[in-house]
Every structure is written in C-alpha cells, then in structure tokens.
C-alpha cells in the first residue's frame, strides 16, 4: 500500500436565492416531477411565501438546495427540501444551508425554525440535533415520488418533527 496523503480543502461557499437558471444544475438533486413544478415554487418565493436557497461553490455551481416555508404554521419557518449533492455530503454544506435558512427565519422575526426527519434517514436527524434542534413530535406526511422510469406514486410516511428557537 502506498503513502496516504491528507490535505484540507477550504470550500468557499455562498448561499443565495435560487433562480430558474439553476434548474439544470439541480437535476441531480431531484426527479423531474419536482423540477417541473419549480417555476411555480419560484413564483411563490417572489410573493414572499417561501425562500428557495442554493449553496454555491466559488464558480457559482449549486451544490445544495433547500427551502423555507412561512405559511404552514404561524410563528414557524419550516425548513424543507434539503439536499446536498451526494458526492459532497458530510463536508458541512448541509450545516451551512440550514444556518442560512435559520437566518432567513430570524430576519422575519419568527421565534421557531422547524424541520422534519424521515425514519429512513437517521443521519439527517443526527445533523439536526447537532445543530440544536429538539424532537417535539411526529406527524403523518406524504408527497409524490417518481421512479426512474417516470412512474409517479404517493409516498407515505411518519416524520419526526424537530424545532429550534431562533432567538436564544
């Protein structure tokens, strides 16, 4: 076995509002059913109901995406649609995205940030808890999923709800 080299890569990341020009770069994150509806979601963002955020490298390439909804529960900003490019996970990019979402919620004067974790994604829940989120309940959830062959089906699950105060 040859020598093992260890080095540190300093990622220069920015977080900004997502724009329609980002959609082709997001195809690796989401199936077509989600991307097809994204222009409608961006219209909601223009109306202030939602913030759609992307984390970008220095070149401007989106490497993570998330959203904050302000309409589901009064007093809460619901963080959802979180995704980091698979090959870049566990580098802290998800933490950058969540902190940016929390800042958006705080800027609106809302006292709580909330997100949900699926039971089949314990790594996500562990991240949320490391960032200070506390489990406070669960609820049934469902959304459309799409298989590789394009078949759309209703995915149903029970998610764990976590929240964090935005003003310590």
Q: What pLDDT, in 10s, does the model give residues 53-100?
A: 999 999 999 999 999 999 988 899 999 989 999 888 899 999 999 999
**Within a domain: residue 143?**
yes
The domain total for the chain is 1
Reported confidence tier of residue 3, pLDDT bands at 50, 70, 90 = confident
Looking at the DSSP bridge assignments, the partners of residue 51 are: 68
Q: What pLDDT, in 10s, does the model give residues 10-47?
A: 779 999 999 988 888 887 777 777 777 888 888 888 88
**Within a domain: residue 160?**
yes
Of the candidates 49, 113, 115, which has an alpha carbon nearest to the alpha carbon of residue 77? Answer: 113
For β-strands 112-117 and 76-84, DSSP reports them as: parallel
d(CA 167, CA 50): 20
Asked if residue 9 has pLDDT above 70, the reply is no
**Within a domain: residue 123?**
yes
Q: What pLDDT, in 10s, does the model give residues 122-143?
A: 999 999 999 999 999 999 999 8
Predicted local confidence at residue 7, as pLDDT:
67
Asked if residue 150 has pLDDT above 90, the reply is no
**Within a domain: residue 83?**
yes
CATH of the domain at 64: 3.40.630.30
d(CA 41, CA 43): 5
**Within a domain: residue 1?**
no
Asked if residue 50 has pLDDT above 90, the reply is yes
Reported confidence tier of residue 8, pLDDT bands at 50, 70, 90 = low
**Within a domain: residue 36?**
yes
Predicted local confidence at residue 23, as pLDDT:
85
Largest CA distance in the chain: 58
**Sheet of 62-69, strands arranged across:** 14-17, 50-56, 62-69, 76-84, 112-117, 152-165, 134-146
**Within a domain: residue 7?**
no
Cα of first residue to Cα of last residue in the chain, in angstroms, is 50
**Within a domain: residue 159?**
yes
- What is the pTM assigned to this prediction? 0.88
Predicted local confidence at residue 119, as pLDDT:
92
Domain that holds residue 87: 14-165
């Amino acid at each position: 076995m040859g020598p093992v080299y260890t080095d540190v890569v300093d990622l220069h990341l920015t977080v900004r509002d997502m724009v329609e020009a980002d959609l082709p770069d997001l195809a690796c994150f989401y199936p077509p059913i989600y991307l097809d509806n994204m222009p409608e979601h961006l219209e909601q963002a223009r109306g202030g109901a939602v913030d759609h955020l992307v984390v970008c490298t220095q070149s401007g390439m989106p490497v993570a995406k998330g959203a904050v909804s302000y309409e589901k529960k009064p007093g809460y900003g619901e963080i959802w649609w979180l995704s980091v490019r698979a090959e870049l996970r566990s580098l802290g990019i998800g933490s950058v995205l969540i902190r940016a979402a929390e800042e958006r919620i705080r800027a609106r004067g809302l006292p709580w940030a909330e997100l949900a974790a699926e039971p089949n994604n314990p790594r996500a829940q562990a991240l949320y808890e490391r960032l200070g989120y506390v489990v406070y309940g669960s609820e049934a959830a469902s959304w459309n999923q799409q298989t590789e062959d394009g078949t759309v089906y209703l995915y149903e699950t029970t998610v764990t709800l976590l929240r964090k105060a935005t003003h310590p």
